[in-house]
Structure 1
Amino acid sequence: MKTHYLKIAPVFYEAVISGKKKFEIRVNDRNFLEGDHLILQEFEDGEYTGNEVEVLVTYIPDFPLPDDYVVMGIELMKEEAE
């Protein structure tokens, strides 16, 4: 298991926090794996806002995507969901 720190736009950050967005699509330049943790850090106008959320990568489908992209199923960590 690895922890990855990633930038996320406010519109997508809010969707993750609300539980509406349950996936991430990223370039797989970090060899993401099921069980990894993502720290999604809200990033707006070239700066971090200070808001972040931790999610668990629960599923990565095994089908090829163009340009080394990966789709990751995510869920909020329990303490984040409360």
Structure 2
Amino acid sequence: MSTHNLKTWMPFYQDVIEGCKTFELRKNDRDYQVGDILNLIEVDPSYELALTGRQTNKEVVYLLTGWGLQQGYVVLAIK
């Protein structure tokens, strides 16, 4: 199990917090695995990706590769 620090744009971060976004689409450059922890760090895309100070941890509960995804990308189901 690994912990991954990932920047997340404000509107998407808020959707994760509210529980309506339960997945992440990411380039699989970190060898993501079920059980990994994503430390999602909110950034403001309109202000040079400045950190907002908010962050949350989510666990990867399912990993989807292939199925029409561009090679090297993965969908991570999170809770």
Q: Residue 76 of structure 2 aligns to which amino acid in structure 1?
A: M
Match of 1:15 in 2: 15
SS in 2 for 1:50: strand
User: Which runs of 5 or more residues in structure 1 are unaligned?
Assistant: 76-82
Q: Residue 75 of structure 2 aligns to which amino acid in structure 1?
A: V
Normalising by structure 1, what TM-score?
Answer: 0.86
Higher mean Cα deviation, 27-36 or 42-51?
42-51
User: Which runs of 5 or more residues in structure 2 are unaligned?
Assistant: none
Aligned residue pairs, count:
75
Q: In the aligned structure 2, how far is the partner of 1:62 from the partner of 1:70?
A: 5
Higher mean Cα deviation, 54-63 or 14-23?
54-63
- Aligned-residue Cα RMSD (Å) equals 1.1
Deviating beyond 3 angstroms after TM superposition, the runs of 4 or more aligned structure 1 residues are none
Which structure dedicates a bigger proportion of its chain to helix?
1
Identity percentage over the alignment?
Answer: 41
The reply to whether residue 74 of structure 1 matches residue 78 of structure 2 is yes
